Structures are given as structure tokens and as C-alpha cells.
Amino acid sequence: MTDIVLDAADLTAAPVARDRVLGRLWRHRSGRVGLVLLAVYLIVAVFGPLMVLWSPSSDVAYQNLFQALKGPSAQHLLGTDQLGRDEMVRLILGARYTLLIGVGAVALGLVVGVPLGAVSGFYRGWIDLVVQRIVDIVLAFPNFLLALALVAVLGPGLRNVIIAVSLASFPRFVRLVRASVLSVRERPFAEAARAVGVSRAGVLWRYVVPNCMAPVFVQVPLEVGSAILTAAGLGFLGLGVQQPTPEWGAMLGQAQNYIFSQSYLVTFPGLCILGAILAFNLLGDGLRDVFDPRVRAVVRRPKRQAT
């Protein structure tokens, strides 16, 4: 998967008022579709366990081998898996784990990447040199291979998957924030703050960093989609969230032997992963246009009347 890194200089040129971002995002077609899809996934993740009376993944008592590999029917709308567990119930329960991995990994990457990028770009010198060499080493490895190696060392499991995916994603936040800080630190308001006696640390965290967050907000949804895809790949290989937890990537891995005979076992988890990644990518596309002053100028430009 190709990594997407935004141009920080474009997005920091003219910040958008916070109370107007959501309205502009809703008027943006891609952003509106992304918001609706994401809202559906969040509702399922939060209230999904309340929609079912039991969890067929939590106890072997809910496995019914007599109902194994039954196709979609009135009793089981999306069919049953090889252990007789309801596929729709497992997909509903799996939404929570998939979103938790994606959001948790990106949140951890933000906690590490934003401070490192801010300090690196503001203080420069040997700090910048050390941080950028560490980032170069991490970026030398493909994201999935790095996450795969880290999970192999740490062991499978929900917590280790989040750590592995976050360590594979934080360098992009470092580079993005550093590029923004290099531009913002030379602006008049930062020079004025230094002139009135504000410490360098105060200038950085009170004035520079808040004005560098627009490109970060745009990059976050794109990184969440990438994290979901990486986690699904780990689950497919059996190195992600372990059974009986109903994670969508692990469900794909278990169903690979039935791809031709019971294709619904592969189709529905794959569509769920596709929809989640599409929602975050559309949201990121909408935020990109909302925060880009050049796009806003084109949108506001009045149409010429025909002569």
C-alpha cells in the first residue's frame, strides 16, 4: 500500500476556524460520505454488543457443529462459520476490535510522533539529526514487514498489535510536524512571542505547535485506514488478535480454506474491512480540501456569467 504524506506548507497557510470545519466537511461530497460511513461503524462498534443476546466467540457452548457452514438463511442472515457460530454476530462484535486497533495505533503514533517532530524542527542541531536518523531507519522498512517483525518478537495479541502498528506509523507524523514547525517558527507571531520574553519551550508549545496541527488532522484518518489494513493482514497470517476474539482479519484467515465452497465467509469480513478503510480515506480527502486554502479559494470563486 502506498503511503500518503501531505504537503504541510499548503495546509498551514490559512487555518480554518474550528466551528466551520464540520460544516464545510459536511458540504464536501467525499467528506459527507466518509462521515456517514464512519458514523455507522461507530454505532455498530459501540452498541453492537447490545444488539445481540450472546457472544458466540466467548464460550464454546455457543458453538453448534450441527449448524456449521450453513449459508445465509432466515435464522442466520449471513450464514455460520466452520464452528456453527453466527457470522453476522461475529462481524458486529468484531467492529469494536478493528476500530480499537486502528484508532489506538494512530493515537499512540501521535503521542510519540508529534512531540518528536516538534522538538526536531524547532531546536534543530544535534536533536534534529538524531531524530531524523531514527526516522530514516524506521522508514527503510515497509510498514507491514516492520509490524510483522515486531509482532513476531512481542507475540500476538491485541496490545502487541497496537504497539507494532503504531511504531510503523509514527515516523510520518514526525516528518509532517517537523515540516510544519520549520515553516511556522519563522512567522511574525512566533518572533513577537520571543521578543516579549516568552521562553523557547513556551513559544513552541503555546504558539508553534497549535498552528501546525491542521496537516496532522488531515493525516490521521489516512493513517487509521492504513493501520486497519495492516492489522487485518497480521490477523490473516495468525499473528494478530487471537481466537476466539472475532477480529475481521483473523476471520479472513480462518475462512481461507473455504474461499471456493463457502465464499460468504471471506466476502463479508472483506467488505467490512473495505468499508472501514474507505470511510477513513474519504474523511481524510474531505479534510484535505477543507484545510487547503487553494481549494477553498476555487470553491468560493464566483462563476462567470455567459455573454
Q: Which long-range contacts (CB under 8 A, 24 or more apart) does 21-29 make?
A: 21/287, 21/290, 21/291, 24/290, 24/296, 25/283, 25/286, 25/287, 25/290, 28/286, 28/289, 28/290
- Mean residue pLDDT of the chain comes to 81
200-214, 244-258, 275-289, 292-306, range with the lowest pLDDT: 292-306
State the pTM of this model.
0.82
- Cell numbers at residue 198, please? 516568552
Q: What's the burial of 89, exposed, middle or buried (CB within 10 Å: 0-12/13-18/19+)?
A: buried
- What is the pLDDT, as a whole number, of residue 293? 57
More confident residue, 25 or 184: 184
Secondary structure (3-state) at 220:
helix
CA distances to 53, 141, 176, 276 from 251, in Å: 21, 27, 35, 16
CA angle at residue 228 from 227 to 230, to 5 degrees?
65
CATH hierarchy code of domain 31-48+85-175+214-297? 1.10.3720.10
CA distances to 14, 177, 189, 226, 297 from 193, in Å: 20, 20, 6, 38, 30
Q: What are phi and psi of 107, to 5 degrees?
A: -60, -45
Report the amino acid identity of residue 112: V
CA distances to 34, 58, 228 from 114, in Å: 25, 38, 21
User: pLDDT-derived band of residue 174, with 50, 70 and 90 as boundaries?
Assistant: very high
CA distance 270 to 132: 37
Distance of CA 14 to the CA centre of its chain: 25
Flag whether pLDDT at 263 surpasses 80.
Answer: yes
264-293 confidence digits (pLDDT tens):
888 999 999 999 999 999 998 888 888 765
22-31, 153-162, 266-275, 290-299, range with the lowest pLDDT: 290-299
- What is the pLDDT, as a whole number, of residue 52? 67
